[in-house]
Amino acid sequence: MSLDKTSANLGKAPSGDEHVVENPEAAAAAVTAVDPRLLVREQGLLGYWSEFKRKMKAGELGSLPVVLGLAIICIIFQVLNSEFLSAQNISNITVTMVGTGMISVGIVFVLLLGEIDLSVGSVSGAASALAAVLTVNQGWPEWVAVLVAVAAGAAIGALHGFFFAVLGAPAFAVTLAGLLFWLGFMLKVLGEDGTINLDSEGLIGKLTTYTFTDVAAAYGLAVVVVALFFVSSFLGNRRREAAGVPSRPLSDTILRTGLLAVVSFAAAYMYNQYKGLPLATVIFLAFLVATDFVLRRTPYGRKIFALGGSVEASRRAGINVTAVRISVFAISGGFAAIGGLFLASKIASANQSAGTGDLLMNAIAAAVIGGTSLFGGRGRTWNALLGVLVIVSIQYGLQLESIAEPVKYMITAAVLLTTVVIDSITRKTQKTAGRA
C-alpha cells in the first residue's frame, strides 16, 4: 500500500525548496510539504528577472506603478522647470508632505479593515485648534498641549469606532457625521477671531521648520538605517537557515542593502545641499518604520490583516473583533491629530480652514495611489509615503509652473483615477492568476 511507503519516508523528507534531488525515484517517494509544480526561482540575477516577468504577468505589480508614475512626474516637471529637482524644492516637498502623509498612515490602517474614515480632515483641524487654544489662550506648556491633542484625536477615533464596532452603524455614515461634528467643534473652539497664531519658535512651530544643519546628521542617519537593515536581514536569514526553512541567499541581502544605501545616501546628500535634514521628515520616517513593524511583525497587526480578510474566520480564531476595530479607528484619529499638528506648524497658526478643502481627499487618495486596497486586507503604511509624494510633487510642480488651483485639482483627480483603474485591472489579472 502506497500509504505505508509514504509514512515510512516521513522522517527523512527533505525540507528545503531548493533541495537538489539527484535520485528522481527517491524524490517521488519522499513526501515534502512542497508541491512539485511550484516554480522555484532560479539563482542569480537572471532569477530576479524571470521572477519579475512572472509577477508582472500575474498582475503582482506591488508598488511598481506608483514608483514609475513618480519617475514620470519628476521627469515631466524637471523638463518644464529645472528648479523642480533642486535640493530646495525636494526638501520642501518632503516637509510639506508630512502633514497629509501622517493622516494617510491612519487611513491605511482603516482601509486594511476594508472600512473608511471620512472624519480625519475635521479631526486633524479640531486637534490643531485644541492644541493652539491650550498653548496660546490657556498658557499650557506646548508638549502637554501636543499630547492632549493627539490623545483627543485617538479618543475621537475610538468614539467613532464604538459606534461602528459595538452599535453596528456603517463606518461611512458614522465618520461622515464625525466630519461635520468635529468641523463644528473646531470652529467653536477657535471662537470669534477664527485664527490663533502659534509661536513659530515653539515646539509645534519647530516641527516643520527645524533642520539638523550638521552635515553629519543626514549621513549618520543614512549609515544607521543601512546598517540596521543589513544586520536585521542578515541575522534573520541566519535564523531561517538554522531552522531549516527557505532563506534568501546572501547576494540577495547585499543587493537590497545596496539599493537602500544608494537611496539613503542620495537623499542625505540632497538634504545637505540645502538646509540639512528636516526634523519633520525624520519623524515621518520613524512613524512609517514603527507602523510597518506593528502591522507586519506583531500579533496585533496580524489581527488587522485577518479582519480585512474574513471577519468570520477572525472571530472563530478567537480574535476580539470589536476591540481591534475600535483600536484601528483610534489609531486613525490619533494620526489625524498628528497630521493636523504638522499642518498647523507649516502655517504657524490654527485657522478656520484647517482640515477642510481637499485634505481629506488627498489623504485617502495618497493611501490608494500608494497601493493600499480599498477592499481590505492588502496594503502597507509605506504606501502612504509613496502616494503622498506623488500628490505633493504634482502640487509643487504645478506651483513652479504657476498653474492655477483648478488645474491642480483636475490633474490630481486624473492621477487618482489612473491608480484606481490600474488597481482594478491588476486585481482582475490577479484573479485569473489565482492571487486575489
Partner 1 sequence: MVHVSATPVLALRGVSKRFGAVQALTDVELEVHAGEVVALVGDNGAGKSTLVKTIAGVHPIDEGAIEWDGKAVSISRPHDAQALGIATVYQDLALCDNIDVVGNLFLGRELRKWGVLDEVEMERRSRELLTTLSIRIPSVRIPIASLSGGQRQTVAIARSMLGDPKLVILDEPTAALGVEQTAQVLDLVERLRERGHAVILISHNMADVKAVADKVAVLRLGRNNGVFEVKTTSQEEIISAITGATDNAVTRRAARTSSTNGEVSK
Candidate residues 22, 192, 316, 410; the one interacting with partner 1 per rule CB under 8 A? 316
State the minimum distance, in angstroms, from the CB of residue 11 to partner 1: 10
13 binds partner 1 (CB under 8 A): yes
State yes or no: residue 6 binds partner 1 (CB under 8 A): yes
Closest alpha carbon to 156 in 291, 320, 335: 335
Q: What is the dihedral of CA 396, 401, 407, 411, to 10 degrees?
A: -50
Q: Which is nearer to partner 1, 128 or 247 (CB)?
A: 247
Using rule CB under 8 A, residue 12 touches partner 1:
no
Among residues 20, 33, 79, 410, which is the contact residue for partner 1, using CB under 8 A?
33
The alpha helices in 348-381, defined as continuous H runs, are 359-369
252 binds partner 1 (CB under 8 A): no
20 scored as a contact of partner 1 (CB under 8 A): no
Torsion of CA 329, 334, 340, 345, to 10 degrees: -170
Residue given cell 541567499 in the structure block = 249
Taking the mean position of all CA atoms in its chain, how far away is CA 23?
47
The closest alpha carbon to 64, from 436, 426, 381, belongs to 426
Nearest distance from residue 146's CB to partner 1, in Å?
A: 27
Residues with Cβ < 8 Å from 242, sequence gap 6 or more? none
Among the listed residues 32, 86, 92, 257, the single contact to partner 1 using CB under 8 A: 32
C-beta closer to partner 1: residue 82 or 298: 298
User: CA torsion, points 314, 320, 323, 325, in degrees to nearest 10?
Assistant: 10
Whole-number minimum distance, CB 35 to partner 1, in Å? Answer: 4
Query: In angstroms, what is the minimal distance from the CB of 411 to partner 1?
Result: 32
Nearest-angstrom CA–CA distance, 62 and 139 = 48
Of the candidates 343, 345, 344, 392, the residue with the CA atom closest to the CA atom of residue 366? 392
The mark string for 404-433 relative to partner 1 (x by CB under 8 A, - otherwise) is: ------------------------------
**Residues numbered 68-107 forming contacts with partner 1, rule: CB under 8 A:** none
243 binds partner 1 (CB under 8 A): yes
d(Cα 398, Cα 73) in Å, to the nearest integer?
11
Could you give the C-alpha distances from 170 to 176, 178, 231, 264, 322, in angstroms and in order? 10, 12, 45, 42, 14
Which of 309, 349, 358, 411: binder of partner 1 (CB under 8 A)? Answer: 309
Options 53, 54, 239, 428; binder of partner 1; rule CB under 8 A: 239
Question: Which residue number, 47 or 309, has a Cβ lying nearer to partner 1?
Answer: 309
Which of 298, 353, 418, 432 touches partner 1 by CB under 8 A? 298
Cβ contact 212:194 at 8 Å: no
- Residues interacting with partner 1, by CB under 8 A? 3, 6-7, 10, 13, 15, 17, 31-38, 236, 239-240, 243-245, 297-299, 302, 305-306, 308-310, 312-314, 316-319, 376-378, 434-436
